[in-house]
Amino acid sequence: MSQSNEQRLADFMHGLKLRNPDEPYFHQAVYEVAKNILPFIHQHPEYQEAMVLERLTEPDRIISFRVCWEDDERNIHVNRGFRVQHSNSIGPYKGGLRFHHEVTVDLFKFLAFEQTLKNSLTGLPMGGGKGGSNFSPRDKSDREVMRFCQSFMNEMYRHIGPDTDVPAGDIGVGAREISYLFGQYKRLANKFTGVLTGKGLAFGGSLIRTEATGYGAVYFLQDAMAVKDRQIDGQTAIVSGSGNVAQHAIEKLIDLGAKVLTASDSDGFIHDKHGFDEDKLAFLKELKNERRGRIKEYADEFGCDYHADKTPWQVDCDIAMPCATQNELCEDDARALLKNGCKAVSEGANMPTVQAGVDLFLDAKIIYAPSKAANAGGVAVSGLEMSQNSMRQTWERSELDGRLRSIMQDIHDKCRQYGEGKDGIDYVQGANIAGFTKVADAMLAYGVM
């Protein structure tokens, strides 16, 4: 990077931090984008003159509200709900809801900003948003989760709509939570519309939506490996997480012939030297989705190693797929992966790698598929769910999987177009520029707002 690009980045980040103090996630996400976009807009002064990046790093609006609910013992709890409506330049706000005890406005600002660029990459007409609550469904009964979701929607419903803002799931928000949320929206608004995605198949949900994020991250990896004449078959893979994204990344990796050695939750990870097979994956799904148990029970069931309070990144592998949470892969983890022979990283989670780790992967020139490109399959199929709802039609599984496959290939190719240099493909640069230009062009067209 030339001195002036470095200076531009430093100046930009200085201003952003002054405007958004104490928001390290948001700073991290914007830094990773601005690093690529500032040199790009220096070459395209129309974006600079219109202050597009400054405008794009200021959310359209942030909504915060009180959520009261009663537990099974009739104790009253007060949580906080959020929705960051980041940008509706190219479509209604669209993005998941996260229910987790550690959420903050900072977290949702980073996720909503990333979502805007990710959704742009899908090629579908969706803006970006994100929200949720500092409520954790863990250790709550179904009825408690239901009462919380209904109370959350009592306020949320006035801010969303099929042409306004269309939430979906994320950490802690799966099929059960979406069903309760949708039921309450329908009751309050007296409308049956595609206001949420990830719905059950009986009430407007789409086939392949459950699988889409994990499958999509593996499809992206498949295309990136094909550029180097390599394939997934016969590779060893390590995966973190054991929720929606991890389960379906593991499923597709196995399907394509990889040996998957690990899975994790917030208590630790299992290391299964024989690798997952269909039966073991079925056990994991039942454990996590039905019994809502801990990953240690997998080790107890199959007699493999369990490492409490550890992440899987020290395990030898060809492929690593972080599919749990942000900043779960630190600088030392990235060093260990490279030292142990990892040749490809595809991110199912959002921003799972710290910036220093990203820099190490880019310097080492391994395949590094950043989250906003690699995990876009989930929201892409959400976009297809919205289309089906609008048309009051349902498409078949093979049709939807085919569309997901081709959307991921298209995202890969766009990233390649903007990220290919003499040393290979920088997918971070490619994803950032390709995602940015579509949103930026719409903003230019609208004038100053």
Q: In what order do the strands lie in the sheet with 262-265?
A: 262-265, 268-271, 305-308
Q: Which of 249, 349, 369, 373 binds ligand NDP (CB under 6 A)?
A: 349
User: d(Cα 304, Cα 412) in Å, to the nearest integer?
Assistant: 36
Q: How far is the CB of 377 from ligand 2IT (least distance, A)?
A: 9
CA distance 374 to 369: 6
130 is catalytic: yes
Should residue 96 be labelled a site residue for ligand 2IT when binding is judged by CB under 6 A?
yes
Out of 95, 132, 172, 205, the only residue in the binding site for ligand NDP (CB under 6 A) is: 172
Site residues for ligand NDP, 245-284, by CB under 6 A, read: 245-246, 265-267
Q: Decide: is 133 part of the binding site for ligand 2IT (CB under 6 A).
A: no
Q: Which does 348 bind (CB under 5 to 8 A by kind): ligand NDP, ligand 2IT, none?
A: ligand NDP
- CA torsion 20-26-29-35 (nearest 10°) is 10
Q: Which residues ranging from 176 to 235 are in contact with ligand 2IT (CB under 6 A)?
A: 197
Q: With CB cut-offs between 5 and 8 Å by kind, which of ligand NDP, ligand 2IT, none does residue 266 bind?
A: ligand NDP
Residue 45 Cβ vs ligand 2IT, minimum distance, rounded to whole Å = 32
Q: Which of 350, 353, 388, 437 binds ligand 2IT (CB under 6 A)?
A: 350
Tokens of 88: 């509706």
Sign of the C-alpha dihedral computed for residues 423, 328, 212 and 58 taken in this order: negative
As beta bridge partners, residue 320 has 238, 345
267 in Cβ contact with 309 (< 8 Å): yes
Strand pairing partners for 268?
265, 308
d(CA 387, CA 96): 17
Annotated catalytic residue, options 35, 109, 118, 130: 130
94 interacts with, out of ligand 2IT, ligand NDP, none, CB within 5 to 8 A per kind: ligand 2IT
Distance CA 370, CA 354 (A): 11
| Distance of alpha carbon 12 from alpha carbon 120, whole angstroms | 23
Q: Is 348 in the site for ligand NDP (CB under 6 A)?
A: yes
120 binds ligand NDP (CB under 6 A): no
Of 381, 380, 378, 384, which is closest to residue 347 (Cα–Cα)?
Answer: 378
382 binds ligand 2IT (CB under 6 A): yes
Shortest Cβ distance from residue 294 to ligand 2IT (Å)? 23
- Stretch in the footprint of ligand NDP (CB under 6 A) among 14-22, 221-229, 236-244, 385-393: 236-244
* Three-class SS state of 235: coil
Of 23, 195, 17, nearest to 103 by C-alpha is 23
Residues in binding contact with ligand 2IT, number by CB under 6 A: 12
**Taking CB under 6 A as the rule, does residue 324 contact ligand NDP?**
yes
Name the binder of 144 from ligand 2IT, ligand NDP, none, CB < 5-8 A by kind: none
Q: How far is the CB of 66 from ligand 2IT (least distance, A)?
A: 24
Nearest to 80 by CA among 99, 100, 64, 57: 64
Q: Which is nearer to ligand NDP, 47 or 93 (CB)?
A: 93
Establish if 350 lies at the interface with ligand NDP (CB under 6 A). yes
Distance CA 72, CA 266 (A): 26
Q: Counting contacts by CB under 6 A, is residue 165 touching ligand 2IT?
A: no
- Nearest residue (beta carbon) to ligand NDP: 243
18 burial (CB, 10 Å; 0-12 / 13-18 / 19+) is exposed
Residue selected from 88, 242, 388, 429 as contacting ligand NDP according to rule CB under 6 A: 242
- Residues with catalytic function: 130
**Which stretches of the chain bind ligand NDP, using CB under 6 A?**
169-172, 174, 213, 241-246, 265-267, 323-325, 328, 348-350, 375, 378
